[in-house]
Amino acid sequence: MECESNLFADNRMTLISIDQLHKVFRRGDEEIHAIRAMDLSIDPGEFIAITGTSGSGKSTLLYILGLLDKPSSGRYILQGSPVENLSDSERAHLRNKFMGFVFQSFHLLPRATALRNVMMPLVYAATYDTPIPEDEQRRRATEALTIVGLADRLNHRPNELSGGQRQRVAIARAIVNNPKLLFADEPTGNLDSKSGKEILALFERLNKEGVTIIMVSHDPSIAERAKRKLVLRDGELVEDSHAV
């Protein structure tokens, strides 16, 4: 398994390629086709917004691309390697090492400080690689929190932070491992518009520094900020447009 660092070393290679991807959920007798025969190719350095009405398949697609879910059929090639034969632990390793995730509801540990929350991926990294010493974890988590503008909130717990600050902690946690790929599912959905704009500005900065960003948003004004917009309808890709 090509789980080692050379997997993402080549920046000219197509990052993500999916071919006739299909996802069916079964509930009782009912079949829900959440993703239908989708083809898509994503290059390193892109900033993509996936948009579309509720239920159109945005989260399903994001979770499949982020190796949090598996397609029912079709191919997914990540940096030249098919992912269908990876074991769950190989998938978890790839996520930990190369991907960051940001969710609408932050998913922070409520009793842990901002610093501890951001250290978590570095703690888990020990499952796959040589453990990272705690002072190094602290140093890197502090650096990530500084990047998101929270250097003065390291020891605050989530309930002592505003929604926008909580989401910035979640972003710090997502970038603490220097991911190549950042996935965000409605990252501004629980925020006021000013905090939402700050989160987007942060994504734009990370993207300029080379992080590939794939963000789901049903809000057109948010989606317009990305360099490329994918519109889903009923599990199908109905529009794929680049910003001018």
Binding site for ligand ADP (CB under 6 A): 25, 27, 32, 34, 52, 54-60
The conformation of residue 133, written as its DSSP 8-state character, comes to: P
Angle at 88 between CA 95 and CA 31, to 5 degrees: 100
* In the complex, minimum distance from the CB of residue 206 to ligand ADP, in angstroms, rounded to a whole number: 23
Q: Which among 179, 122, 170, 134 has a CA at the least distance from the CA of 150? A: 170
CB nearer to ligand ADP: give 45 or 189.
Answer: 189
CB nearer to ligand ADP: give 142 or 188.
Answer: 188
Could you tell me the CA-to-CA distances from 167 to 9, 145, 207 in Å, in that order? Answer: 29, 11, 17
* In the complex, minimum distance from the CB of residue 12 to Mg ion, in angstroms, rounded to a whole number: 32
* b/e code 14-46 from CB counts within 10 Å (16+ = b): ebbbbeebebeeeeeeeeeebbbebebebebbb
* In the complex, minimum distance from the CB of residue 54 to Mg ion, in angstroms, rounded to a whole number: 7
* In the complex, minimum distance from the CB of residue 88 to Mg ion, in angstroms, rounded to a whole number: 23
Cα 183 to Cα 212: distance, rounded to the nearest angstrom: 9
CB nearer to ligand ADP: give 60 or 165.
Answer: 60
Torsional class of 104: left (φ above 0), alpha (ψ -120 to 50), beta (otherwise): alpha
Structure tokens at 53: 């009405």
CB nearer to ligand ADP: give 23 or 168.
Answer: 23
CB nearer to Mg ion: give 59 or 177.
Answer: 59
Considering CB distances under 5 to 8 angstroms, the limit depending on partner class, which of ligand ADP, Mg ion, none binds residue 200?
none
Considering CB distances under 5 to 8 angstroms, the limit depending on partner class, which of ligand ADP, Mg ion, none binds residue 104?
none
Residues numbered 42-81 forming contacts with Mg ion, rule: CB under 5 A: 59
* 25 CB-near residues (< 8 Å, 6+ apart): 31, 32, 34
Considering CB distances under 5 to 8 angstroms, the limit depending on partner class, which of Mg ion, ligand ADP, none binds residue 149?
none
CB nearer to ligand ADP: give 24 or 77.
Answer: 24
Element holding 185 (H helix, E strand): strand 181-185
* In the complex, minimum distance from the CB of residue 104 to ligand ADP, in angstroms, rounded to a whole number: 10
Considering CB distances under 5 to 8 angstroms, the limit depending on partner class, which of Mg ion, ligand ADP, none binds residue 27?
ligand ADP
Residues numbered 130-159 forming contacts with Mg ion, rule: CB under 5 A: none
Q: Are 19 and 39 in contact (CB under 8 A)?
A: yes
Structure tokens at 157: 């717990």
Structure tokens at 29: 């007798």
* In the complex, minimum distance from the CB of residue 226 to ligand ADP, in angstroms, rounded to a whole number: 16
CB nearer to ligand ADP: give 36 or 228.
Answer: 36
* In the complex, minimum distance from the CB of residue 55 to Mg ion, in angstroms, rounded to a whole number: 8
Residues that bind Mg ion (CB under 5 A): 59
